[in-house]
Structure 1
Amino acid sequence: MNDHSSRDPGDDATPPSAPALQTTQVHLDGLFDVLAKHLYSTPVVAIRELIQNAHDSISRRRLEDPGFTEPGRIDVIADDAAQTLIIRDNGSGLTEQELHRFLATLGNGYTRQLRATGKEGSEELIGLFGLGFLSAFVVAEQVLVNTTSYQSTGEGWRYLSTDGRRYAVQPIDARPVGTEIHLAMRNDFNHLCSAGVLKKVLGRYCALLREPLWFDDECVNAEPPPWRATHDGVVVHPAVLQRQRMAFATRMERHFEPICVIAIEPEGDSDARGLLWVQDGATYGTSDNRHLSVYVRGMLLDDEARDLIPVWAGFIGGVIESNALTPTASREDLQRDDAYTAVRAHLKSALIKGLASLAQEQAPAWSRLLTRHNEALLGAALCEDELFAMLQDAVRISTSQGDLPVRSLIRDGRIHLSLGQSGGFEDVLFRALQVPVARGDRYAVAGFLREYVRDRGVLLVEIGTATGNARMFRAADLPKSEIAWLRTQLAWGELVVPARFVSPELPLIAVPDREAQLKARLEADDASKRMAGAALSLARAFTKRIDASVAARLYINLDNPAIQALLQSHREGRVLPAHAVALLRSFKVIMAPGGEELEGQPPLVDLLNDFNGAVAALCAPTAQN
């Protein structure tokens, strides 16, 4: 046996050489189809991308051509009959080499390189990925580009392609410096040549472009947004500025009339500027009509950027522009980066400050806001401490006596809150006691009141809970024999509870156990038809711990004269007049709202007959004598 026969074969082995690197192959046709057909969600984006390129061409010429002093200009010319669309600019134009290098090379945009230089004015450049020109082939069956560069004004060049994969470049006579793109539209997209459609598209996407855009003898973006307006050092009266902002908001809001506007100025790490506005359309607590249009370097990038607005602000619309936000490759959404986070925090802060200013300085608008969005503001106040401090005495609470300010609910240091649905025993109880009861089944009411009473020395009495009932009906002692006797006279299965009420006028009231009712609903055979299985299982796991042996309690008011007379008759052994018991039993049912009848309770018509008989007995001559 050899000396090294037991050694690891790899001990002296030469380390294997690294595998040779291979070049990834690209199936151009497949990649082109993905980019051209699936990068953009709507063909309208093609028009935006081509106008963006024209705008960047003008910005480039300003940066590189010292002799360019004339105004920039972009023209959009549509021929509905010929199904063609022309986009023309007086920007930098392209040389023959640039046509090959940039226009005909995917992902190699000159704009990105120019922005990287950091030259003054480069921040106005819009393009980033070098893919915008590709969008032309989404809508056009043929794309023709005529261009003359400021670098060689005596030459003209033509680019022609029918599918974007193959193209031809040929010399033509020199034209004015700039570029003209001709689109022969596909049949599916002929509607984009319609003047009505184009005017709407251009007004939406290009409203904030800095270079003038002309269509149908009209400058689409002639009026700058209010935050860009210059007044040549003249001080503008706040009322005039407010009217300008409202006019802009009205023009940009597509669904509602704006009530008021809140200006957005750069703050901290956010460069966002623009306007937010309160919508006039009424909302409920869970309504969410947020919408925000975001312009990056003057071009609309996302008009559904609602997530930049706080989720509690379902009544807010707006328009902002920012050079810091980063678009995705399709330029139809925003990357969730640090700039996005900064803008979102900025908008929330500005919105809260703006609402506070509105409350102090614009009383009519603030009143309309409260009328339209009271419930939404209740929920918003629970989300933000600053809002709660501002709104706590302004919002109104839904109660058994209508919508009231919170302060109006305080009686003897208490606020009464019903956790049952409107129409329950709580409404009857508080109507009898002449005390407003807040409706806890309405959006955010219970949470708002629990926060409101904190550190205020105000007691929140939550009727329908054991604690709340104990505060409304103070327990009182009564011999067991008398409790049993009252049960036989007045109860139909309820647990009789002797108590002393907040008000002595009410003799008795039947109070259903809300938790027992919930358990019964969840354990019903048809519950699975109304709730998802997982939610039902979780709910049943919770209600399993509930003692539902008592469906309701009959609170007997020992301070009530009628109850005192009833008990006194029993204690003295006198024969109890049948009509006295009949009146109390009928009273109990009449006071109970519909839908809360107890098992074993006689039909309402029988009890009404008892009531009528009792009244008749009291009116009889014998009774009167």
Structure 2
Amino acid sequence: MDNSSFSQDPSVTAQFCSAGVDLSGLMQVLSKHLYSTPMVALRELVQNAHDSIIRRRLEHAGQPDTGRIQVIGDAKNGLIRIIDNGAGLTEDEIHAYLATVGVGYTRTLRQQDNDTGLIGMFGLGFLSAFVLAKQVMVTTTSYQNPQQGWRYRSANGEKYSTEPVNCREIGTEVTLLLRDEFSHLANEKVLNDILSRYCVLLREPIFIGQNLTPVNPDMPPWRRDGDIAVHPIQDRRLRIEFAARFEQNFEPICTVPVVPDGKSDAIGMLWVQDGSTYGTSDNRNLSIFLRGMLLDDDARDLLPPWAGFIGGVIESNKLTPTASREDLQRDSHYSAVQYALSESLITGLAEISRRQPEVWRRIIVRHNETLLGASLCDERLFDLLIDTIKVPTSQGDLRAQDLRSKGAIHVILDAKEGFEETLFQALGVPVAYGDRYAVVPFLRRWATAKGCQLVELGTNAGNKQLFKLDDLPINESEWLLSVLGDGEKLITSRFEPVELPLVVVHDREAELKKRLEDDETDKRVSIAALHLARQFTAKISATNTRQLYVNLNNPAVNALLEGFRTHHVGLNDAARMLKALKVIMSSRGSQTQAMALNSALSDFSQLIPQMLARSGGRVTENGESE
């Protein structure tokens, strides 16, 4: 066929009519702005062909055993032909349905029986042809009058003509003379790529050009359940292969079935992606098929927010599409499917952990941090993960039970400042990093479940469990603060290990109070949230954000205090050296701390030669003074 096919036969008197459109401009809005991508128009036209086949099967006893849809591209002439062996149209039906906006026979049939498999709803799909085409021609023969054919022509959908033509095989052929900007769609490879995406789950076979293999050759796994006996290992392989057709970015590790649950009719599968994720990763992807036709391939909001490593494909007859059928209405069916997917995923993961332990270990390795947060969203997930999930610690990623030390586990609320980590390195005890995603709330719940004590370093409650307070005379405390302090609050105490003379701990509660009372906070936080937060911080009495704990069990500290009491000549140098040690251990790389670190290193470099020079002695080869 070429462009000459659109020429009017002068021997036939055509009837010119106006489409049933009452509002000026409605056709332009619907045809040009209803769909987000012009490629959707091909989906709509194939869907019309599909529904015509089902209609004939419902109404016509002579319907062939199998339907057939053929899509032919003619790149040379810029034509696309969509041919079906469906019910066809009579002249009256052309006027009543094809040329009237918002009226469709498919919807009438669906209202009589919603389980027919018909897709159309709004009577708008045919208008999509005018998004792509500068002229549309429909040649059709109805099963109701197989001796007479009819042809419809229109350039814009508003004005059209009909004329009688010789009968053809029962069914319909839609021919699009493409606009120049869409001429590339006539390439049959392009047609194959588009329709194999949109129509892969349609039950009626769709052929591109003269290809003998349809774009939808395979029955999805959930449709063969119960009909074909498949070994469980082969079934898992087939399901993963099917998932891989939809998963664009990652390899599927394993699949989880989705089955109707009474309120939700959704059926299909979900899968776990192989790509590693972090706590905030969101690689969710979900394809929704409505009666076999792709409606939305980015319906991620139907999946739980914590499932950033999950992909899926489902079918549903109850989900309600918008007019463009590119999105879903957020109604009760939407909520039911959303709940069903969450339940399927949780129970599916539990089943994998029981039956496929090697796959479960792979999932934990790939998605440990994401699952750490997910465990807080559902009690069943927490129970599933409590003994296998790991948290980041000073000794690498460890399970919570491996953090236990003397009946407690310890967590640093902010690993960027303070050197609580140094304290626990000296003790040989791992400490969890509480500034990492979901660590603190997970450990709090874990400690409660296991009857274990959780020590949160940097809070008053946590510090009291680590440091046993002890007093010094006021003059000694004031002197220690003057020679060792840099604005911290001095706290004399006793703690392990005795080899550690002092430690600087950031008071996280005091830091929070200071931030919330800062005038700048008023500009960034809502008044209501700020009011609630300040109600909490009003109970916090601490104002100093840094606390210097001095260890009275440490020999160096005790020698320093004794030197103060006896006015030892080397007292100042010893104090400078201990302060330098404090600065070196607490340095975390900020510009201010870098300057203090340089000064401390300088003190060490100067003090050691000075102390050796003052000793006036000579050291023997075995390291002893003469």
Query: What is the 5 A alignment of 1:207-356?
Result: 207-216=200-209, 217=211, 218-229=213-224, 232=227, 235-356=229-350
- The C-alpha deviation readout for 1:549-603, integer Å capped at 9, x for no partner, is 5342221111222223333444466555555334322221222123476799982
> Which residue pairs with 1:137 in the alignment?
130
Contact 1:74 1:212 in 2 (8 A): yes
Deviates more, 1:481-490 or 1:570-579: 570-579
For 1:509 and 1:539, how far apart are their aligned partners in 2? 34
Are residue 427 (structure 1) and residue 421 (structure 2) matched?
yes
- TM-score when normalising by structure 1: 0.89
Deviates more, 1:577-586 or 1:251-260: 577-586
Deviation at 1:305, TM superposition (A): 0.8
> Which residue pairs with 1:99 in the alignment?
94
For 2:541 and 2:130, how far apart are their aligned partners in 1? 70
For 2:544 and 2:246, how far apart are their aligned partners in 1? 59
Query: What is the 5 A alignment of 1:194-205?
Result: 194-205=187-198
Q: Percent identity?
A: 51
> Which residue pairs with 1:186 in the alignment?
179
For 1:510 and 1:617, how far apart are their aligned partners in 2? 32
- The C-alpha deviation readout for 1:437-459, integer Å capped at 9, x for no partner, is 11111111111111111142211
Q: 1:614 to 1:295 in 2, by over 3 A?
A: farther
Structure 1 counterpart of 2:71, one-letter code? V
Deviation at 1:287, TM superposition (A): 1.1
Are residue 533 (structure 1) and residue 526 (structure 2) matched?
no
Deviation at 1:251, TM superposition (A): 1.3
Deviates more, 1:189-198 or 1:173-182: 189-198
For 2:349 and 2:77, how far apart are their aligned partners in 1? 52
Deviates more, 1:428-437 or 1:181-190: 428-437
> Which residue pairs with 1:162 in the alignment?
155
Deviation at 1:472, TM superposition (A): 1.5
For 1:230 and 1:390, how far apart are their aligned partners in 2? 28
Query: What is the 5 A alignment of 1:604-615?
Result: 604-613=600-609
The correspondence for 1:603, drawn from 593, 599, 610, is 599
Structure 2 counterpart of 1:278, one-letter code? V
Contact 2:494 2:551 in 1 (8 A): yes
What's the secondary structure of 1:123's corresponding residue? coil
> Which residue pairs with 2:500 in the alignment?
506
Structure 1 counterpart of 2:37, one-letter code? T
Deviation at 1:511, TM superposition (A): 2.3
Are residue 38 (structure 1) and residue 28 (structure 2) matched?
no
Structure 2 counterpart of 1:410, one-letter code? R
Contact 2:68 2:85 in 1 (8 A): yes
> Which residue pairs with 2:469 in the alignment?
475
The correspondence for 2:409, drawn from 402, 406, 415, is 415
Contact 1:422 1:439 in 2 (8 A): no
Structure 1 counterpart of 2:306, one-letter code? W
Query: What is the 5 A alignment of 1:468-617?
Result: 468-515=462-509, 533-535=523-525, 550-571=544-565, 577-595=571-589, 603-613=599-609, 616=612
Deviates more, 1:65-74 or 1:291-300: 65-74
For 1:219 and 1:205, how far apart are their aligned partners in 2? 13
Structure 1 counterpart of 2:600, one-letter code? L
Deviation at 1:259, TM superposition (A): 1.2
> Which residue pairs with 2:108 in the alignment?
113
Q: 1:40 to 1:574 in 2, by over 3 A?
A: closer
Are residue 153 (structure 1) and residue 146 (structure 2) matched?
yes
Structure 2 counterpart of 1:128, one-letter code? M
What's the secondary structure of 1:94's corresponding residue? coil
Contact 1:212 1:220 in 2 (8 A): yes
For 1:75 and 1:532, how far apart are their aligned partners in 2? 65
- Structure 1: gaps (5+ residues): 1-24
> Which residue pairs with 2:4 in the alignment?
none
Deviation at 1:267, TM superposition (A): 1.4
For 2:316 and 2:618, how far apart are their aligned partners in 1? 91
What's the secondary structure of 1:509's corresponding residue? strand
- The C-alpha deviation readout for 1:360-407, integer Å capped at 9, x for no partner, is 222222222112211111111111111011111111101111111111
Structure 1 counterpart of 2:389, one-letter code? V
Structure 2 counterpart of 1:483, one-letter code? S
Are residue 450 (structure 1) and residue 444 (structure 2) matched?
yes
Deviation at 1:548, TM superposition (A): 7.3
Deviation at 1:34, TM superposition (A): 1.5
What's the secondary structure of 1:159's corresponding residue? strand
Deviation at 1:84, TM superposition (A): 0.5
- The C-alpha deviation readout for 1:127-166, integer Å capped at 9, x for no partner, is 0111111111111111100111111111111111111001
Deviates more, 1:220-229 or 1:586-595: 586-595
For 1:365 and 1:612, how far apart are their aligned partners in 2? 58
Structure 2 counterpart of 1:158, one-letter code? R
Deviation at 1:428, TM superposition (A): 2.0
Contact 1:583 1:610 in 2 (8 A): no
Contact 1:492 1:601 in 2 (8 A): no
- The C-alpha deviation readout for 1:69-111, integer Å capped at 9, x for no partner, is 4210000000111110000000011111111111111111001
What's the secondary structure of 2:275's corresponding residue? coil
For 1:577 and 1:561, how far apart are their aligned partners in 2? 15
For 1:539 and 1:493, how far apart are their aligned partners in 2? 31
- Structure 2: gaps (5+ residues): 1-19, 620-624
- The C-alpha deviation readout for 1:389-443, integer Å capped at 9, x for no partner, is 1111111101111111111111111111111134641222222222111111111
Q: 1:378 to 1:457 in 2, by over 3 A?
A: same
Contact 1:580 1:614 in 2 (8 A): no
Contact 1:102 1:108 in 2 (8 A): yes
Contact 2:417 2:506 in 1 (8 A): no
- The C-alpha deviation readout for 1:19-53, integer Å capped at 9, x for no partner, is xxxxxx97533111111111111111110011000
Contact 1:50 1:133 in 2 (8 A): yes
Contact 1:492 1:600 in 2 (8 A): no
For 1:207 and 1:421, how far apart are their aligned partners in 2? 51
What's the secondary structure of 1:252's corresponding residue? coil
What's the secondary structure of 2:95's corresponding residue? helix
